[in-house]
Structure formats: C-alpha cells, structure tokens
Chain A
Amino acid sequence: MNNPSPDTLRKRLEGLDQMPTIPVILYPLLRHLEQPLDRLDLQQIVDLISQDESLAAQCLHMANSPLFGLWQPVDSIRSAVALLGMQRVREIAVSCSVLQLLPNGAGKVNPKVFWEHSLACALVCRQFAHRIAFADPGKAYLGGLLHDLGIVAHLWIVPKEFQSACELARTRGIPLHEAEMTTLGVTHCDTGKAVAERWHLTADMVAVLSCHHHPSTATVRRDLVALVSLSDLLCRMSGMGYGYVERRQVNFTEEPAFAILLEECPSLKTFDWARFTFELESFMDEVHRLVTVLYSEPN
C-alpha cells in the first residue's frame, strides 16, 4: 500500500488543497459579528440569509429548537430576528453555514458527528461564559463553533488518513489530536491555523483554532482560548465528543486552561462544575435531536 509520506500530507494540508473556499455567507456574517449590534444593518443580514434557501431553511429549524429559547413557531428569518434578536440569529446563521461546509459522509467517518460536537461546544461555551461573567459570550459561542475547523479540512483533504486517526483514537480511547499526530504528523490545530489564516479570520479566532488544546501557547485572547478549551473537554467527557469514549479521568481545576481563565474570571474559583455537568444532559439530547433533523433535510 502506498501511503503518502508525512511530508506529503503536511504539504497538502498546509496548501489546503481540495478544501472549499469560505462559504459566501460566512465572511460577511463574521465581519458583521465584529460590529456592535447597534451599527448592524439588520435588513442586510436578513437578505444574506434569505437568499440561500437551503441555509434559510436550516436556520429556521435551529431557530425553532428549544436550544435557542423560542417558545412559539417561527416561519421566516425576519420573524426569527424579531423574536430571538439579532445576536441569536447571527449565531444560528454562522452555525448553519459551517454545517454547509462539511463534505457528504461517504466514508466511515460521519461528518455529522463533528458538527454536532461543534454546535454543542458553542452552546456550552456561551452558557459557561454567562455563568462565570465572561466578557463576551457571543465571541465564546463563535469560538466553540469554529474551534474544530481543522477537522473539516481533514475531512476534505485527507479523508482516508483522518479516518485512520479516528479509528486509532477510538481503539485506544485517546484524544483525537493525539491520534492525528501519530497518523498525520499534524493535528487539527495546525490545520485549523492554516484555514483561519487563509480565510482571514480575526486574530482571536486564529488563536482558538490553533491553540485550543494548548491554551498557554496562545499569544492573544488566552482567556477565550482557555474557555473554549475547557468547554471542548467538558463536551468530550459528557458524551458530546467525536462519537467515541476517551478513556481518561479529568480534574477541571487542574487543567492548564483553568488557571488561565481564572485570571480573567475570578468567579470560576467557586464554579459548581457538578451542577453545570448535570445541566448539559439537556443540551446533549436537544443538540442530537436538532442535528438529526437538519441532516434529514436535503442540503
């Protein structure tokens, strides 16, 4: 069998060959996210979402999920904005545009699992941010949603090798990035950095994508990276990971990310990890239900 050498793989990944370009809608949405809410052109956002029928349909499914807190059915993007507010609709639209980035699951690795994890992580990041009075819960949501974009690149560029990494991770019960390092010679953090830079994401998102497994290496927004890192780990330990069980024991207060985040959020010191973990049960069921619905819809 002629397996590509690690150098070949690395070059393919660094060059992002076969990776789709940034979705048309994502860039303007991300640019809008950087603006204060009062300076937003709501109509422009509504138009952006509405012009893509498939995206708009997915957004409405999400808007009607209890995860976003709407207790009455909504049938248009405009109504969603009116009832949920612009912040939530932006989050929903970015989430759906990331969903559209995924390749069809032809191989053994189901891309759905990764989007499910990303969505769960985004929701946990936002909830966690609220609980510890983190300054920017919206940014936390975005970080949680995009942190694994490197995996999306792996699914497109090196699907067979990435499948081997997933199998190794599952067999040994080890974190995926460790299995990627063994199989690919790079991790989704390395590839995520290349994606983030190619797509001209903001410096804080570059840090999240490239450093979420080693937040102390981030040079900007270490607090945001640490928050995403802890939320990501909590998801993986709570059955919202990559579809397999990591055989490990975690003490969150001993994680390097904990000390980093504690510097910015002193309330983390008395944070009730047990209760927060119990709360996630509800997230898990709802996220799974939503993802199943969205995946049953034709793209």
Chain B
Amino acid sequence: MSHARARSAESSLSLGGPPSIQLIQIRDLVYRVAGMFQPDSKLRILESRCWKRMQALGVATLQDYYRWLSACPANQTELVALLNEITVGETFFFRNQPQLDALHNIVLPRIVVAKSKTSTRHLRIWSAGSSTGEEPYTLSMMLLEELTGQLKGWTFEILATDLNQISVAHAEQGLYGEYSTRNLPEHFRQKYFVSCGESLQIDAELKSHVKFSRVNLLDDSKMVFIKDLDVIFCCNVLIYFHGAAKGRVVQHFYNNLLSHGYLFLGHSESPYAVNEDFRLVHLPSATAYVKLEKRPLASRVQV
C-alpha cells in the first residue's frame, strides 16, 4: 500500500469507502474561501449537498462541479448557493450545546471576575446574524436562569441583528414551530413559552431582554455604535464574506468587544486567514476567539 493512499484513507473516516479526491478538494476549497470545515464524518452530507447543487446547475460530475466552484471562488454566487445548502436547517433553539456550556462554565465566570474590578454589573451580548431569533432567545433564557446564580444582581441585554428584514420581523414576532423548538428542553418550554395553536409563543419577559434590528455588518456607520460588548456570537455568517470585506467585519468585532470579550463562531467555522487580531482558545468541546492585548485601541477600520 502506498503512503499516498494511506494518507488519504486516514482523513476519510465513516464513509464506508474512500471519498473522491474531488470531494476532498471541494471541502478544502470551502474551508479556504469561507472558513467552514466539513469533518470527515460529514463528507457524505457535503456530497449530497453538492449533488443537489449539481442537479440545479446541470453539472454531471464532482470534478466538473469543483472546476465550476474553483473558477473564481471568492466572487461567485455558486459558492454562496452551496454554503446555503450546507447550513440549511441549522437555526433552532439550543443548537450548539457545547458552546452554551462553555459560555456558562468558563466564559461567564471569567467575565464576572473581569467586571468585578469595575462597578459595572451589566452584560452586553451581540448575536450578529441572528436569523429568525432562536440564538438570541436561547441566550436570553440561559442568562435569565443565571440571574439567580452566578449573575445575581446583574442585568443583561442582547442585541440581535440580521441583514434580512423578514427574518428580523419573524424574530420580533417570536412564534416558533416544531422544527425550531425540537431541541428545546422541557423546563425552558414550560417557563418561557406559551402554546399558540400548533406553535409556541415567546414569553414577554424573555423578549424584553432582546433588541432586534436590521444591520448590514459592512455598514460601518452602524457598526461603530454597537460597542462595549462582552460576547459576540456570529455563527455561519462570516462564511459569506470574503477577503477585505471579511477583514472589515472581523475588525469591527475586535473594536466592539471589551478587552475581556469573547467571539464565538459557528460549529466548525474559523475566521480563516483574517484572525491575526484574535487568538483561538479552546474551551471544553468548543472553540472561541479572544482579543490580542497588544494592539492599540484606535480603530483600524479602513472605510
């Protein structure tokens, strides 16, 4: 057996057979351009998403599809279409439990310690790309529970923004069906929702902690006003920005976070190639980014 085959096999678990080179190439291209990685255990799913797009385009083979994607990957609509397929159905309550556990067990205690040196007992969290609201409401539920625990005596607010006005309106309405609430623990369902026909309606108190608005992350005039944040969640959004635009958004995140702040991205998502301002930290079964301390405070955003 050649070393080349051994290497390719090593990185191709759970497939029941070796994946095609083209599929690996597509996986690597998506990571290189969008920063979203599909682990070997999800290559089958990636393949089915590719086939769906190939059918829509009338492309016959993965090889041809790879050529199509790689022609001009950073500036074409097809990559966006594929990313949409990959992330479809990822919006639901309590989507990323390890991330929420890390927030609860590691990040909040650290922020409490950092802020205890000042008189501030207020948390500001930003859900950037909040879609239809499941993420900010999940955070709001978690933090409300903590007001009798590690956040006793604290207040908090959650800023939730999205580019899509329809999504923002849906979030403000706060009405959710079975799909969105499939992961919702019973305790939270009972406490923060009321039945409304076949849907669940968000409780008013929960809603009062979340402020929704339509924001384009590239709109510098708005971004500079979202300040003094303790934590930013930006899941499956940066993947749609490339090159300088992505750098600008990440720079805004850097400027808007407090020095002890944390940036959480989506599962298997990295600010690939634009992360010089942030440093990766490992939390239990999750990753996050913290600010490098050496930078001057002045904004470096090039408008």
| A interface with B by C-beta (< 8 Å) | 66-67, 69-71, 83-85, 88, 127, 130, 173, 234, 237-239, 245-253, 272-275, 277-283, 285-286
Contacts and interface: CB of A to CB of B under 8 A. Distances in A.
Interface stretch (B135-143, B151-159, B181-189, B278-286): B278-286
B13 A239 contact: no
Contact of A286 (B13, B18, B282): B13
B84 interface: no
Contact of B14 (A127, A253, A279, A282): A282
A249 B287 contact: no
B268 interface: yes
Task: Give the secondary structure class of B's interface.
Answer: mixed
B9 A85 contact: no
Interface of B: 1, 5-7, 9-18, 31, 37, 39-41, 98, 101, 105-106, 110, 268, 270, 272, 279-285, 287, 290
Nearest to A275: B37
Contact of B287 (A85, A277, A283): A277
Contact of A69 (B6, B110, B270, B287): B6
A220 B182 CA distance: 54
A239 B285 contact: yes
A130 B284 contact: no
17 contacts: A66-B9, A66-B15, A83-B1, A85-B6, A173-B105, A237-B282, A248-B284, A249-B106, A252-B280, A252-B282, A272-B270, A273-B282, A274-B37, A279-B40, A282-B39, A283-B13, A286-B41
Contacts of A234: 282
B37 A245 contact: no
Given A69-B6, A249-B282, A274 B13 contact: no
A250 B13 contact: no
9 closest Cβ pairs, A-B complex: A69-B9, A274-B270, A282-B40, A282-B41, A282-B13, A281-B39, A278-B37, A237-B282, A250-B282
Given A237-B285, A252-B280, A274-B280, 12 more contacts: A69-B5, A173-B105, A239-B98, A245-B285, A247-B106, A247-B284, A249-B106, A252-B282, A272-B270, A274-B37, A278-B270, A282-B40
B145 to A, nearest CB: 18
